[in-house]
Amino acid sequence: MTDSRPTLRVGMIGYQFMGSAHSHAWRTAPRFFDLPLAPETNVLCGRDADHLATAATRLGWASTETDWRAMIARDDVDLVDICTPGHTHAEIAIAALEAGKHVLCEKPLANSVAEAEAMAAAAEAAAAKGVRSMVGFAYRRVPAIALARELVEAGRLGVIRHVRAQYLQDWIIDPLAPLSWRLEKDKAGSGSLGDIGAHLIDLAQHITGMNIASVVGDMETFVKERPLPSEHSGLSGTAGEGVGPVTVDDAATFLARFDGGAMGVFEATRFATGRKNAIRLEINGSQGSVAFDFEDMNVLHVYDAEDDPAAGFRRVLVTEPGHPYAGAWWPPGHVIGYEHSFTHQVVDLVAAIAEDRDPRPSFADGLRVQRVLAAVEASAESQKWQEIP
């Protein structure tokens, strides 16, 4: 039986952690959701031809390119999915948009405000020609987080007063863990702040509908130098000979003021011993609160001040057919996982492209996050409050 839907031919750059997650999403989305376009995983791009060929077979891509410029130039690519380190995002995304290709770019959008501004400008120009772009803050698509957004948007929490946000990991607590690109500022832009703190900033602004207006922050690098990696060593690879400097932060904390009057407390660290990927959010309003912990990702804790105060928070298992995204998956009570957020990201992006509208989060949203990241870094250096432009 032939598929009568128009196709959306995808080319993806990068095939490691995020590339694997995105590949799974492109394959899975049309099998569970009724998409208006049929995604085709046409081209996978990477620098090492041998590793690339293996990855393409494993991840389900039809062909390969070792030069991203050649991939963008191909007629059988409608959308470019960027899963590369941050220092490459701006050049690739702008070139793809100017070539008339839709773009999905992993977060953070760029390594600097200047790069993010150039990307947002290119996205705006491309949108006028019907070319769409989105930044990959996939945690927005966790059903419990999407439900929290719906509750806030509907006014169920009243006036938002407090935001508490933590992202806790421990993958580099070993001082002998080798240096990787994520620990080098020229490639990663920043450390825990940009890599995982960016998610907190995006989620806080997305759920509350308010923007962070000012910050005061602190940052620390606990391990100043690390063993150089052996050849072909990855994120958790083996050490080689010699040492190199760690040029990004291991941990970042900051206070924030939102333009709607709320106060925020943020923490992002890779040195929370025992925490693997803990994302914790609590939002308090004048009429209620919501609380979320990614280690229990299918649950949203909800407090309604108009209910019996003695009842406290109510545990909502976000798996009912009426909950965001949940109806396309399993019967109620059958939970979903991390990878589903990327599938939902594809669903929303494909729908926006088919409907000829700009998807969210946009490159402008990514720029807004980038400006907060820059302000936190500036504040950590000056030890003063910084306004967000």
Residue 62: inside a domain = yes
On the question of pLDDT at 312 being above 70, the answer is yes
CATH number of residue 75's parent domain:
3.40.50.720
**Under 8 Å between Cβ of 255 and 263:** yes
Give per-residue pLDDT as tens, 42-101.
Answer: 999 999 999 999 999 999 999 999 999 999 999 999 999 999 999 999 999 999 999 999
* DSSP character string of 149-184: HHHHHTTTT-SEEEEEEEEE--TT-STTSPP-GGG-
The separation between CA 223 and the C-alpha centre of its own chain, rounded to angstroms, equals: 26
d(CA 203, CA 100): 30
In this prediction the pTM is: 0.95
* Domain count of the fold of the chain: 2
Q: Are residues 200 and 72 in the same domain?
A: no
Q: Are residues 156 and 130 in the same domain?
A: no
Q: Are residues 252 and 373 in the same domain?
A: yes
255: confidence class by pLDDT, cuts 50, 70, 90: very high
Q: What is the mean pLDDT of the chain?
A: 95
d(CA 160, CA 260): 8
**pLDDT value at position 108?**
95
**pLDDT value at position 237?**
58
What residues make up the domain containing 20? 7-138
**Under 8 Å between Cβ of 15 and 59:** yes
Give per-residue pLDDT as tens, 142-199.
Answer: 999 999 999 999 999 999 999 999 999 999 999 999 999 999 999 999 999 999 999 9
Residue 249: inside a domain = yes
Q: Are residues 125 and 210 in the same domain?
A: no
Give per-residue pLDDT as tens, 107-150.
Answer: 999 999 999 999 999 999 999 999 999 999 999 999 999 999 99
Tell me which of 121, 138, 155 is where a domain ends: 138
d(CA 261, CA 247): 35
